[in-house]
Structure 1
Amino acid sequence: MAISIESFFHQQSATFTYLVSCQTTKSAMLIDAPADFDAASCTLSFQTADEIIAHINDNQLILEWVLESHAHADHITAASYIKQQLATYHPCKLATGKKIIQVQEHFSRLYNINMPCDGSPFEQLFTDNEHFALGAHKVTVLATPGHTPDSVCYLIEGNLFVGDTFFMPDSGTARCDFPGGSAKTLYQSLQRILALPDETILWMCHDYQPGDRPLANKTSVLEQRTSNIHLQASEQDYITTRSARDATLSAPKLLHPAIQMNIRAGQLPKAQQNSQRYLTLPLTVLL
């Protein structure tokens, strides 16, 4: 029995989406699928998601899970759209880590969103080391907080989908300056990943191609352990380096629209009396 792993690259956000399927049963799971968003016109569209949906249908896969590794700040998720589009023939569940509740509580206050902070509309909230089946295979969920408190990775047959923990070794690791983030906590999560067998394949969520090198999306535990530019010294050195680096980073360009949508699994805001939907832009005034 084997699995198939197919990747789709979203150029706008430098994000990889993964479609993982059981070759025996055709059961599939989709990880970190983005929507398309034009910030200047505030236009949300789903060309990328539609291409993935077409691929699922063309290959007669049965999509059972639409998974998020965390509430992303750099792109809007297409999770709810994909579930809706495939609802007739695909019994897919929206799922993420249990600590999405903590993220919902924080950002619903920041953006003044009236919403239940109980994990909904996600239908499954995973705890650390929880398992679920994908056809004939077992998927293990690893809680890997640090970038965000709700971050999780998905392990199946020696393949780990790492979300925003590791980047390729020449890019280091994810930032930790979002609410609930912690360089110390991320270091511990990274060490947990590095404790997996050397040959474990790590699939990246992002690649920013430093030095204009070719696009890359997979590496190994051994390669990360020996070559990652952020992990060649002590824990305290890592925390110092990561914190200094984070202090120089600008907010992601799509931070405000992305977080507002993603804590709701990509569900659209309710239409107002004028039939228009709105996202909030918090204003900071410097005098």
Structure 2
Amino acid sequence: MEKPKVRGFYEPQTSSIPYVVSCPATGKAAIIDPVLNFDPKSGRIATHSADEILKFIAEEGLTLDWILDTHPHADHLSAACYLKGKTGAPTAIGAHVTEVQALWRDIYNWPDFAADGSQWDRLFEEGDRFNVGEIESRVLFSPGHTLASVTYVIGDAAFVHDTLFMPDGGTARADFPGGSAKILWRSIQQILSLPDETRVFTGHDYQPGGREPAWESTVGTQKRQNIHVKEGTAEADFVTLREERDKTLSMPAQILFALQVNTNGGRLPAPEDNGTRYLKYPLDRLEGAAWDLDE
């Protein structure tokens, strides 16, 4: 199995890990799940994380083939649009993003919003294939965390983002609009059916026990050690654990900001007549969400 080079970039504000994955033979590369820096308290936007990736690509002499998102993120703004403007590389996401767009179009009351995926250059279906340089790659449809989540299998590397975390972190939540613990279980089982030596790269790490950030494991290690889904775990037990845990989790700080940007391919709202961009903030639409009383 072909082995791409993988470089992760830990982003501490949202505990996210964007990636650059590249073909050693050709120097062709893809960016996966880039972060646009955003401070909800001040409303400031910055491109520090994305610029660090661009600097790495330039220093390594890489040529960008793709800018890939695994799903419309709820915890950070996507830098896909910014990076496309800087590099001209095509953007892509899973085809079921249209379902997420339709759901959030209603939440934001956007009757004229184009919920057709046209904000990306390519929409990937289950089983679609593409290349990063000479490395054959394919797409797994991995819903459960969201309606649109996909896994990118690039050579021997699987980029799973919000399905599996590191083994000591378990799995991602399934309580966002359109999420399902039962469906997440099925998606995880598909990932765990990959060869044991497949490298697994997760999109977040919340440093359980205060350890240093980590984001690479293997399918075999996940099957032996993942605290939520290791071998011998029953589906019903996982679903109960996941649903009970999700009831205790407050919403990500950026969710109501992020989805209006990320369902639009990472595009910020257009400036109004005073030159200022404004984000819309719907009230009382995430029913049942746990209150974060520490804020």
The TM-score, its normalising length taken from structure 2, stands at: 0.92
Aligned match of 1:48: 49
Count of matched residue positions in the alignment of Structure 1 and Structure 2: 282
- The residue type equivalent to 1:178 in the other structure is F
Whether 2:105 is the aligned partner of 1:104: answer no
Write out aligned runs for 1:51-62 (5 A). Answer: 51-62=52-63
Write out aligned runs for 1:159-174 (5 A). Answer: 159-174=157-172
Structure 1 stretch 266-275 or stretch 217-226: which is displaced more?
Answer: 266-275
Matches of 2:207 and 2:140 in 1, distance apart? 27
Matches of 2:3 and 2:209 in 1, distance apart? 36
On the 8 A contact 2:73/2:258 being kept in 1, the answer is yes
Whether 2:180 is the aligned partner of 1:179: answer no
Offset at residue 57 of structure 1 (A): 1.6
Kindly provide the CA deviation profile for residues 222-279 of structure 1, in whole angstroms up to 9, marking residues without a partner as x: 1111111112421011111100000111010001111111111111112222222111
Write out aligned runs for 1:1-287 (5 A). Answer: 3-87=4-88, 92-113=89-110, 114-232=112-230, 233-284=233-284
Gapped regions of structure 2 (runs ≥ 5): 288-295
Offset at residue 76 of structure 1 (A): 0.5
- The residue type equivalent to 1:93 in the other structure is P
Matches of 1:214 and 1:85 in 2, distance apart? 32
- The residue type equivalent to 2:117 in the other structure is G
Matches of 1:120 and 1:14 in 2, distance apart? 29
Structure 1 stretch 110-119 or stretch 191-200: which is displaced more?
Answer: 110-119
Gapped regions of structure 1 (runs ≥ 5): none
Kindly provide the CA deviation profile for residues 118-160 of structure 1, in whole angstroms up to 9, marking residues without a partner as x: 1021110000011001111111111110000100011122110
Kindly provide the CA deviation profile for residues 87-124 of structure 1, in whole angstroms up to 9, marking residues without a partner as x: 3xxxx111000010000111122112332011021110
Aligned identity (percent) is 42
Report the RMSD for the aligned CA atoms in angstroms.
1.5
- The residue type equivalent to 1:95 in the other structure is A
On the 8 A contact 2:4/2:157 being kept in 1, the answer is no
The TM-score, its normalising length taken from structure 1, stands at: 0.95
- The residue type equivalent to 1:33 in the other structure is P
Matches of 1:99 and 1:275 in 2, distance apart? 34
3-state secondary structure, aligned to 1:219: strand
On the 8 A contact 2:164/2:172 being kept in 1, the answer is yes
3-state secondary structure, aligned to 1:237: helix
